[in-house]
Amino acid sequence: MRVGFAAAVFAGTVALGGAAQAQQLDKKQFNVVGTWNFLTNWQKLEQPLWATEMPAASNGAITGNIKSITEVNLKGTELLRLIRQGVFDVGAALPIYVEDGGAIIEASDIAGVAKDFKMGRDIASLWMPEMQKVMKERHGSMILATFPFPEQVIFCRGEIKSIEDLKGKKIRVQGTSQGDFAAAVGAAGVTIAFGEVVPALEKGVVDCGITGTMPGYKAKWTEVTNTLFRLPVGYTVGIWVVSLNVWNKLNPATQEFLQKQMKAHEDKAWKIIEEETDEGVACSTGTGACSVGPAAKLKLVIPSEADVKVREKALNEVVLARWAKRCGDACAATWNELVGKKYNLTAKAN
């Protein structure tokens, strides 16, 4: 009898402890901006995180009013300013969104550096202290987690057999370092917003475009191109940022909860998007199963050893040098120490 009573008291104490722990969380609805609502990042990761997973894990204390950047019709470069002004609390930002200190954020995914997802995530982790400084000191925000997009490849009108065929082409690029890569292989980089690429390709404003394997398919690039040249040039590493004004008002239990949830989300994002990369190729080229719609029929071109050597030459002689010039000697020296030394790379301005 006494044993049963003691067990009951213990169980009740544990239950009260759990309730008390739940009560330690601030009750907070975050205003959140995600990425594009027709892509996997939004559909499988961002929207479920804030609309379902956070509320469930916090017993309803933490919720998110999340809108896609498509829905709010923002230019990416407006996002950090609006977070600092208090219009939004949290946002999913890409390196190209960052103007003040942009070269430092860009260094998380310099075109041609990362050779696979593991390396891409490792570089983002090694470089995180420098990115945190920029976000805290210049944008009043803090990075909570990273996330990738699928492997960045090249979609082209007409036939592309090798990297040599890119010479003289106008290539839509996502940011400055992709533009440097295009220049290094004899092409011209053209910056065009993601949602405007299809008409640009259709009208011949550009001949090719760089984007992720599945985003290219879902955004219907396959309807206005003929070739998918699978020469990886990056992974578009994004960052989840939270306003420091908001963050500093949260109690320690809530901060710890959010950091734990965002770490789990980061792990999930890198896994899901890596798995999606090959399917994006299959959906665009008809070379495998496609679970998200009818497969397109682009010609799939796998880069040769010679193509890879040209990419490495472009990286080492042009892309890294131009980035180092933009970021400055001290910044480049730090990158060489934190990242370059591990991967036998050196960024030095010419």
Q: How confident is the model at residue 85 (pLDDT cuts 50, 70, 90)?
A: very high
Confirm or reject CATH 3.40.190.170 for domain 27-148+236-277, answering yes or no. Answer: yes
Q: How confident is the model at residue 11 (pLDDT cuts 50, 70, 90)?
A: very low
Above 90 in pLDDT, residue 13?
no
Above 70 in pLDDT, residue 9?
no
Mean pLDDT within 237-241: 97
pLDDT on residue 276: 97
CA-CA distance, 227 to 89, in Å (whole number)?
Answer: 41
Q: Where in the chain is the domain with CATH 3.40.190.170?
A: 27-148+236-277, 152-234+279-327
Above 60 in pLDDT, residue 175?
yes
pTM of structure: 0.90
**Would you state the CATH architecture of domain 152-234+279-327?**
3-Layer(aba) Sandwich (3.40)
Above 70 in pLDDT, residue 208?
yes
CA atoms within 13 A on the CB side of 303: 19
Averaged pLDDT of the chain: 93
